[in-house]
Structure 1
Amino acid sequence: MDLTQTLTPVVTIGLSQHPNSFDYAMTELNNLVQANNMDVVETLVQKLDKPDPATYFGKGKIEELTQVVIDDGVKTIVANDELSPSQIRNIEKATKARIIDRTGLILEIFANRAQSREAKLQVELAKLKYQLPRLHTSASQRLDQQTGTSSGGGFTNRGAGESQYELDRRTLEKRITHVNRELKEAGKADQIKRKQRDKSDIPTVALVGYTNAGKSTIMNGMINLYGENDDKQVMVKNMLFATLDTSVRKLSLPDQKKFLLSDTVGFVSQLPHQLVQAFKSTLAEAANADLLVQVVDYADPHRDMMIKTTEETLKEIGVDNVPMIVAFNKADKLDVTFPTREGDNLIMAANDTSSLKELAAIIKEKVFKNYQTLSLLIPFDKGDVVSYLNDNTNILKTDYRDNGTVITAELNDVDAKRFGKYVLAAE
C-alpha cells in the first residue's frame, strides 16, 4: 500500500522562545508528525518571550493561521508545545480545525505502536491522565471515541443534577483506577522474570538513548555475533518510536562469558511526563542494569542535545547510579575513522562487525571485571563439575593428574564460592 495516499495533511506551529534549540525542536516535531502518518504542508512560527495565555500565538498570528488552514484545506494543527485546555479551546474555535499539542501527538504515536499488553496499558494510562484536565475543551463525542465509551445507555443512570462533564470525569477516574490495577498485575510478572534473571547471576546491559539512534540495529548486530538464538531479531525501522516494548536477549561471548542485553524504548525531547511515569516499569530494565550503553547518533549535529535529553530522562525515572558508556553510532555517515575507542566510549557503526566486537570488548571489561582466575583440582568422579566449567567458564588451561583434573578458568564470584573447595593451593 502506498502510504503517501493515506497521510493526513497538517500545519505545524511553534513559538521561538529559545533560539538556540528552536530549529531543532521544530525539525523533531515534523519528524514526529511524519511518524504519526501525517504530512506537514506548512509550518507557521512566531517569536515571543512567552506564549499568549489564551491563544498561544498572538492575535495577528492566529488570524494568519486561520487563513493558512483555509487556504491549505487542512483540518489539523500540531503545536510544538503542550497547550493549556483554554488555549486548545480558543485555537479550535478561531481556526475551526482540530489542534494537537506535542504531548497529544506523542501519545497518539505511542498508542498506535504499542504491541504488548503492558505497553498498551501504559499508553492508555498516560492518555487518560492527559485527557482528565482537558475534558471541557472537547465535545463528549470526541472523548467517547478516544476512550471507547458511549454517551448512550451507559450514561442514562447518572444522578440528578450530574453534568456531562462530571460524569465524563468520573468515568475517566474509574478507568484510571482500573488500568492502574491491571498494570500492577502485569508488573508482577515482569518482576518475577527479573528476579529469575538476578538469581542466574548473569550481568545485564541496557541500550538506552534517543529514538532512532540505532539501538535496535546494534542489538541485532550483537545477536548475530553472540546470540544463542540468532533468529530472535528485534524490529528495525527508520522512524521515531518504531517500537515501544523492551526486548531482552541472552548473549554468549567466545570465552563463555554471558550477559543479557536489552533494547529499551527511545527518548525524545520534551517526552510527556505522563509517559515517563507510565513507562517506568518498562524502563526498569535500565534501572536494574549493571551497565548502560547510551547510543548516540554521531552524525546528527544536535547530538549534544540528544545526550542531555537522554540523561535528563534517565534521571527523571530514577536511573542515576548505573555505570554508563557511550556508543557514538552512525560514524559511517561521516569522514572519520571507526571503530575508535576514547576511554570507555566508542565511535562506531552498527553495521560494522569490528565496531560490534569492540563494543563487546568494552562491555566485557565493565561487567566482568570482578572475575577471578583460579586453578581447580576436580576429582575424576565429579565429571558434572568439569562439564559445567567447560560449558560456562573461560578455560585457560587443563592438566591431568593422578587424583583428578586441574582446570584453570575465569570464574565469577558465585562460581568461585560454589567451587571453592576445589581450589588448588598455590604451589
Structure 2
Amino acid sequence: MTSLPPESDQRAQRDVADDVVARVLARAGTARAEGVTVHAAHDGDQLDLAERAALRRVAGLSTELQDVTEVEYRQLRLERVVLVGLWHGGPAGALEAEVSLRELAALAETAGSQVLDGLLQRRAKPDPGTYLGSGKAQQLAEIVAASGADTVIVDDELAPSQRRALEDVIKVKVIDRTALILDIFAQHAKSREGKAQVELAQLEYLLPRLRGWGDSMSRQAGGQVGGAGAGMGSRGPGETKIELDRRRIRDRMAKLRREIAAMAPARATKRTSRHRNEVPSVAIAGYTNAGKSSLLNAITGAGVLVENALFATLDPTVRRAKTDDGREFTIADTVGFVRSLPHQLIEAFRSTLEEVGDSDLLLHVVDASHPDPEGQIAAVREVLADIPGVADLPEVVVLNKADIADPDVVARLRGTERNTLVVSAHTGEGVRELMAFIAASLPRPAVDVDVVVPYARGELVDRMHREGEIDSEEHTAEGTHLRGRASATLASELAAAAR
C-alpha cells in the first residue's frame, strides 16, 4: 500500500498549482500573444478579418441548452468557462502544465468564451472514473458554482465515460481539448472543402460519445419477444433513437468522405500544372499563431487574413512570388499545428497537408517569443512525420517575431537547430535574407539554351523571363536571341519554336 505524501508536501503542491492557475488567469487575455492584432502595411485591407469579427460570439448570445427536452427554449449567454489540467511530476512538469493551460486559455478565448477560473491537480495519471478523482471533482463543482461558469474545459482528451461522470458531479457541460479545437475549426473554416473536412472530424469525434437521455433512449426489443420478463411494453421498433443517430452519422461520414475525395483531383490538377511547368514551390508550416500568414504577406503582399488568434488560417493559400533575379515560385500557407492535435483533424486534413510534401522547400515558422518554442517545434515535426515526402524536404527553421523575442532564446534555438533564419514578419527584419535563402535553395534550370525565338512566339520569351535564367537577350531580324538556362520542358518548346 502506497503512503500519502506528508501534509507539508501536499500544501507545497497546492501552492504551486494555485500559483500556476493565478498566472494563467492573469494572462488569460494575453495568452494569444498579448491579445491585440497589430497589422503591418503588407497585410492589406484585411476584409476577411472584419467578416470574421462580425460572426464572433458576443455577450448574451450562446446556444447552451438548459433542458434537453425543450430544445426551442434555450437560455442565451456567453459561455463562461473553468479550465482544468493535470500536473505530472516536479517543477519541470509544473512549467509544462502552465504552458499547456495557458494555451488552453487562448483556445477558449479564440472560441469566444470567457475564462473565469482554473484548477490544476498533481496526479501521476488521470483517474479512470472522473479524470480528477472524486475529491477534486467535488472541489471543481464548488469552483464552478462560485464562479457562475456554465462550461468546464479539460486540458486533455476525455473518455466518454469520464466526461459523463464529471458532468454528473459538477452539473454543467464538460468538453475536452479536442472538442474545443474542433469548435474553433468549425468557426474558421471558409472553403467548401475545409467545412467538409471539419464536419467529418467532428462526426468522428461525436460518434462514440453520443449520450442517451432517459428511458426514451434505452434499448428496445423488436417484434415478438420471448423469454421471461419480456412482456407488454418491451415490444418496440427494434432500433433505438441513439442507434438511429449513430447510423445517420455513419451515413453522413461516408458521404463527406466521398465529397472530399471528389475535391482532391482539382488540387492535384493544379499541382500537376505547376510541376509540368516546373515552377518551384515553397511550403510554410508551423505551430498555430507562429506568424505564418504574416510571413506570406511579407513575402508576397497577398493580404491574407492575419489575426492574433489560434487557428486563424484553415484553408490553404497558394500565391506566386519572385526571387530577386526574377524567377517565379509558388508559396503555400498551411493550417497551423498544436500540441495533441486531434487525430480526427489530421486525417480529415491529410489531403490539404499533402501540399507540404509536394514542395521543394519547407519554411518551418517558429514563434521565437513563445515560452516553449522547442515544444512547438517537436509538436509540428510529429505531425509532419506522417505526411508522405516531408522527410526528404530541405527544411529551414524561421525564427519569427524577432522584434519581441528574447535574444538569449534566439541564440539557444540557433545553437540547437541546424538551419535557421531570424526574421520579423511584422517589421520586415530578415525578410530580404529569407528571400535570398529561398532563391539559393530552389532548384535551378539545368538545360543550356541558345535559340532565336520568332516574334510570333513571344509567350515563350515571357516564360523564359519567369521560369528560366537569361544570360543575354538580343532582338534580331529573325526574332529574339536568348542565351541562358531553362527547364527541360521549356527548353524543348524553345527548340521546337526556333526550327
TM range (shorter): 0.7 to 0.9
The size of the alignment, in residue pairs, is 400
More off after superposition, 99-108 vs 167-176: 167-176
1:371 aligns with 445
Report deviation, 1:394. 3.5
What's the counterpart of residue 9 of structure 1?
80
Q: Is the 8 A contact 2:84 2:153 kept in 1?
A: yes
Contact map agreement 1:294 1:326 (CA 8 A) in 2: yes
Q: 2:287, 2:254 → 1: CA distance?
A: 31
Answer yes or no: is the 8 Å Cα contact 1:17–1:49 preserved in 2: yes
Looking at structure 1, the residues matched to 255 and 215 of structure 2 have their Cα atoms a distance apart, in angstroms, of 21
Across the aligned residues of Structure 1 and Structure 2, the Cα RMSD in angstroms comes to 3.1
CA 419–174 in structure 1, closer or farther in 2 if over 3 Å, else same: same
Residue 328 of structure 1 is matched in structure 2 by 399
Aligned to 1:192: 269
Q: Aligned equivalents of 1:241 and 1:84: distance in 2?
A: 25
* 1:215 correspondence with 2:269: no
Contact 1:277 1:317 in 2 (8 A): no
SS at match of 1:42: strand
Q: Which moved more, 1:1-10 or 1:271-280?
A: 1-10
CA distances 1:103-133 after superposition (whole Å, capped 9, x unpaired): 0110111111111111111111111111111
Tell me which of 229, 233, 249 is aligned to 1:172: 249
| Contact residue 324 and residue 439 of structure 2 kept, 8 A | no
Equivalent residue, structure 1, for 2:33? none
- What SS class does the counterpart of residue 378 from structure 1 fall into? strand
Residue identity opposite 1:371 in structure 2: P
3-state SS, counterpart of residue 184 of structure 1: helix
Letter in 1 for 2:310: L
Output the TM-score relative to the length of structure 2: 0.73
1:150 corresponding residue in structure 2:
none
Task: Supply the AA of the counterpart residue of 1:376.
Answer: D
- The letter for the 2-side match of 1:295 is V
The Cα shift of 1:173 comes to 1.0
Cα gap change, 1:403/1:262 in structure 2, threshold over 3 Å: closer, same or farther? closer
Q: 1:332 to 1:91 in 2, by over 3 A?
A: same
Q: Deviations over 1:18-68 (max 9, x none)?
A: 615221111111111111111111010111111110100011101100111
- Superposed counterparts of 1:28-67, under 5 Å: 28-67=103-142
Q: CA deviation at 1:242?
A: 0.9
Contact residue 212 and residue 238 of structure 1 kept, 8 A: yes
Change (3 A) 1:139 1:15: farther
In structure 1, what is the equivalent of residue 282 of structure 2? 205
For residues 387 and 185 of structure 1, what CA distance do their matches in structure 2 show? Answer: 35
Summarize deviations over 1:316-342 as a string: whole Å, max 9, x none: 33432222111100101136599x999
Contact 2:455 2:480 in 1 (8 A): no
TM-score (norm 1): 0.85
Offset, 1:190: 1.9
2:154/2:176 contact within 8 Å kept: yes
Partners of 2:261 and 2:439 in 1: how far apart? 35
CA contact 1:373–1:408 (8 Å) conserved in 2:
no
Q: How does 1:228-377 map to 2 (within 5 A)?
A: 232-318=302-388, 319-334=390-405, 336=407, 344-353=419-428, 355-368=430-443, 370-372=444-446, 374=448, 376-377=450-451
1:116 aligned to 178, 181, 191, which one? 191
CA contact (8 A) 1:378 1:386 kept: no
- The alpha carbon displacement at 1:377 in A equals 4.1
2:450 and 2:482 in contact (8 A); partners too: yes
Is the counterpart of residue 81 in structure 1 residue 151 in structure 2? no
Q: Give unpaired runs (5+ residues) of structure 1.
A: 142-157, 225-231
The CA distance in 1 between the partners of 2:435 and 2:251, in whole Å, is 48
Deviation at 1:298, TM superposition (A): 1.1
Q: Which moved more, 1:163-172 or 1:383-392?
A: 383-392
Cα distance between partner residues in 1 of 2:120 and 2:463: 65
Deviations 1:121-180 (A, max 9, x none): 111111111111111367899xxxxxxxxxxxxxxxx97221222112111111111111
- Where structure 2 has 5 or more consecutive residues not aligned to the other structure, the ranges are 1-53, 61-77, 217-234
Q: Which whole-Å CA distance do the structure 2 matches of 1:261 and 1:126 have between them?
A: 27
Which one-letter code corresponds to 1:210 in the other structure? Y
- Matched residues in 2 for 1:325 and 1:101: separation? 34
Residues 4 and 132 (structure 1), Cα distance of their counterparts in 2 relative to 1, 3 Å cut: closer
**Does the 8 A contact of 1:221 with 1:350 survive in 2?**
yes
Partner of 2:102: 27
Of 172, 176, 182, the residue aligned with 2:259 is 182
CA spacing shift, 1:94–1:379, aligned 2, 3 Å: closer
CA distance in structure 2 between the aligned counterparts of 1:140 and 1:301, rounded to whole angstroms: 50
Distance apart, 1:192 and its partner CA:
2.1
2:277 is matched by which residue type in structure 1?
S
Cα distance between partner residues in 1 of 2:283 and 2:118? 37
Work out whether 1:130 is the aligned partner of 2:198.
Answer: no
